[in-house]
Amino acid sequence: MIGGRNDLIKSDDGPDMMRDASTQYVAGSGTAAGIAPISGTRQTLRCNGRVQRMRITILGGAGFLGRKLATRLAKDGALGGRAITGLTLFDLNAPASLPAPFPVTCLGGDVADPAAVAAAIPAGTEVVFHLAAVVSAAAEADFDLGMEVNLHGTLAVLAACRALGTSPRMIFTSSVASFGGGQDAVVPDDGRQIPTNSYGAQKAIGELLLHDASRRGFLDAVNLRLPTVMVRPGRPNKAASSFVSAIVREPLLGLETHCPVPDDFAVWICSPRATIEWFLHAAAMDTAPLGLDRGINPPGRSLSVAKILSALKQVAGKAARDKVGFAFDKEVFDIVKGWPGAFAATRARRLGFKEQEAMEEIIQGFIEDDLAATKAERGL
Ligand SMILES: NC(=O)c1ccc[n+]([C@@H]2O[C@H](COP(=O)([O-])OP(=O)(O)OC[C@H]3O[C@@H](n4cnc5c(N)ncnc54)[C@H](O)[C@@H]3O)[C@@H](O)[C@H]2O)c1
Task: Report if residue 198 sits inside a domain.
Answer: yes
Distance in angstroms (rounded) separating the CA atoms of residues 74 and 98: 8
Q: Residue 226: its pLDDT value, please?
A: 97
- What is the residue with the minimal CA distance to atom 41 of ligand 1? 131
Q: Residue 304: its pLDDT value, please?
A: 97
Counted domains in the chain: 1
Distance in angstroms (rounded) separating the CA atoms of residues 17 and 19: 7
Distance in angstroms (rounded) separating the CA atoms of residues 297 and 254: 34
**233 lies in which domain range?**
133-377
- What is the residue with the minimal CA distance to atom 38 of ligand 1? 63
* Catalytic residue flag (residue 25): no
Q: Residue 220: its pLDDT value, please?
A: 98
Task: Report if residue 309 sits inside a domain.
Answer: yes
Instruction: Count CA atoms closer than 13 A to 338's CA, side-chain side.
Output: 21
Task: Report if residue 85 sits inside a domain.
Answer: no
Task: Report if residue 192 sits inside a domain.
Answer: yes
Distance in angstroms (rounded) separating the CA atoms of residues 343 and 228: 13
The three-point CA angle 367-372-375 to 5° equals: 115
Q: Which of 92, 130, 203 to mutate to test the pocket of ligand 1 (most atoms within 8 A of CB)?
A: 92
Element (H, E) at 347: helix 346-350
Q: Which atom of ligand 1 is nearest to the CA of 153?
A: 31
Confidence (pTM)? 0.88
Interval between CA 169 and ligand 1 midpoint (Å): 19
Sequence-distant (6+) residues with CB within 8 A of 259 are 243, 247, 305, 324, 325, 326, 327
The tens place of each residue's pLDDT in the chain, 380 residues long, gives 344 333 322 233 333 333 332 222 222 232 333 223 223 333 444 545 555 679 999 999 999 999 999 999 999 999 999 999 999 999 999 999 999 999 999 999 999 999 999 999 999 999 999 999 999 889 999 999 999 999 999 999 999 999 999 999 999 999 999 999 999 899 999 999 999 999 999 999 999 999 999 999 999 999 999 999 999 999 988 888 999 999 999 999 999 999 999 999 999 999 999 999 999 999 999 999 999 999 999 999 999 999 999 999 999 999 999 999 999 999 999 989 999 999 999 999 999 999 999 999 999 999 999 999 999 999 99
Q: Residue 48: its pLDDT value, please?
A: 55
Task: Report if residue 69 sits inside a domain.
Answer: no
Residues found in the chain? 380
Residue 209 zone, left/alpha/beta (φ > 0; ψ -120 to 50; rest):
alpha
Pocket of ligand 1 (CB under 6 A): 60, 62-66, 91-92, 110-112, 131-135, 149, 153, 173, 175, 226, 228-229
Residue 145 zone, left/alpha/beta (φ > 0; ψ -120 to 50; rest):
alpha
Task: Report if residue 49 sits inside a domain.
Answer: no
The CATH number covering residue 239 comes to 3.40.50.720
Distance in angstroms (rounded) separating the CA atoms of residues 96 and 73: 15
Distance in angstroms (rounded) separating the CA atoms of residues 84 and 68: 16
Task: Report if residue 82 sits inside a domain.
Answer: no
Interval between CA 135 and ligand 1 midpoint (Å): 6
DSSP per residue, 245-306: HHHHHHHHTT--EEESS-TT-EEEEE-HHHHHHHHHHHHHS--GGGTT--EE----EEEEHH
Q: Residue 20: its pLDDT value, please?
A: 30
Distance in angstroms (rounded) separating the CA atoms of residues 339 and 346: 19
Of the residues 102, 172, 199, 339, which is catalytic?
199
**Ordered strands of the 301-304 beta sheet:** 228-229, 266-270, 301-304
Q: Residue 239: its pLDDT value, please?
A: 86
Interval between CA 110 and ligand 1 midpoint (Å): 13
Task: Report if residue 152 sits inside a domain.
Answer: yes
Distance in angstroms (rounded) separating the CA atoms of residues 134 and 152: 12
Element (H, E) at 30: none
